[in-house]
Amino acid sequence: MNYTITHIPEDYKMTAFGITFEDFNDWAGNAQKTAQLKQSIIENGALAELAKKSDGQIYQINYANEAGARRGFGVMGAFSEVANTDVFEFLAGDYLVFEMTGDDKNTLADQLTGYVFGQALSKITEWQYIGPGNATATSENPDGSFTATMTLRAQKIEA
C-alpha cells in the first residue's frame, strides 16, 4: 500500500468519546470495547449530536497521553462543553496519509489501522511516526464502496 505526505501548517483539535486501553496488546478485548463504545454513542445519539457541531465527518481517533492509549470516535474541532468527551491536540507538521477501500464501512477503519501498524510502518524507511495521535475518516464512494483515510504525524528520518 502506498502512502502520501501532507503538511498541516497549524495545530488542530479533535473532540471524541473514548476509552482507555489497560493492555494495548489485548487486540480482541480492545476491539470489543471499541465496538461497544461506538454502538452506545450511536444508539444514544451522542455521536450524531457531536457531529452537528462540526462539518459532520466522524473520525476514529487513536491517541496516547498521560492517561494511556485511548481510542474514540469524534469530530474535528474543540467542543469541551460536550459531556464525556476528550479534546485531543494534533500538532502541525508532516503527516503520513494511508488509504484503503472496501465494502464494509463498519470495519474498514480497523482494517486500515491494523495494516498500518501491523505492516506498513515497519516497511517505511524515510519517515517515522511520532504521534501522539492519528485519525481515520471513512467516506462513501460513488460506486457504494468506502474509503478509509488515516493520517499520522511523522518526521523525515535523516540519513
Please write the tens of the pLDDT for every residue from 93-134.
Answer: 999 999 999 999 988 998 999 899 999 999 999 999 999 999
Percent of the chain beyond pLDDT 90? Answer: 80
User: 60: domain range?
Assistant: 3-156
pLDDT at 1: 67
Percent of the chain beyond pLDDT 70? Answer: 99
CATH of residue 66's domain is 3.20.80.10
The domain total for the chain is 1
Confidence at 28, pLDDT banded by 50, 70, 90: confident
Residue 98 vs residues 113, 117, 135, 138: alpha-carbon distances, Å: 9, 11, 11, 12
Residue 1 vs residues 14, 50, 64, 91: alpha-carbon distances, Å: 27, 32, 25, 25
Average pLDDT of the chain to the nearest whole number: 93
Please write the tens of the pLDDT for every residue from 143-154.
Answer: 999 999 999 999
**Cell 498521560 belongs to which residue?**
66
